Amino acid sequence: MQTSRLNDLALLVARMLLSAIFIKGGWDKAWAYQEAAGYMTKGGVPGSLLPLVIITEFVGGLLILVGWQTRCAAIALAGFTLVAAFFFHWDFGNRGQVIHLYKNIAIAGGFLALFASAAGAYSVDGRRT
């Protein structure tokens, strides 16, 4: 397999893996709205922002999955992920929260790599160029 085709395949798999947690997260928050709003409030974020969170996660995840407006979606989700880490996973006395913090940092890094590389040939963006 040619290197460029292998890179494009790797980008497709990376987009699938990165998008999965956001599509599912947005979907779950929509269906457990009150619980999600309560969790946000407990973290110091107004529950009234939950619709924006759901849209960001679900739509952003779908954009990454299909590879449309990939660079914009990737940078937006990288920022979103770091903000979420700051508000919800900053308890260094809680090992589980520290693991989530580093997970979020790693996900943001993946999005930054996707921003730098673009979506690849197996994407809407790739088909348009």
Q: What pLDDT does 91 receive?
A: 92
- Where along the chain do its domains lie? 3-123
Per-residue pLDDT of the chain (129 residues; tens, 9 = 90+): 577 999 999 999 999 999 999 999 999 999 999 999 999 999 999 999 999 999 999 999 999 999 999 999 999 999 999 999 999 999 999 999 999 999 999 999 999 999 999 999 999 998 886
> Would you give the distance in Å from CA 67 to the centre of its chain?
13
**What value, to the nearest 5°, has the Cα angle with vertex 44 and ends 82 and 72?**
30
For residues 83 and 86, what is the distance between their CA atoms, to the nearest angstrom? 5
pTM, full prediction: 0.93
Q: What's the confidence (pLDDT) of residue 128?
A: 80
- The DSSP code sequence of the chain is --HHHHHHHHHHHHHHHHHHHHHHHHHHHHHTHHHHHHHHHHTTS-GGGHHHHHHHHHHHHHHHHHTSSHHHHHHHHHHHHHHHHHHHS--TT-HHHHHHHHHHHHHHHHHHHHHHH---SSSHHHHH-
Total number of residues shown for the chain: 129
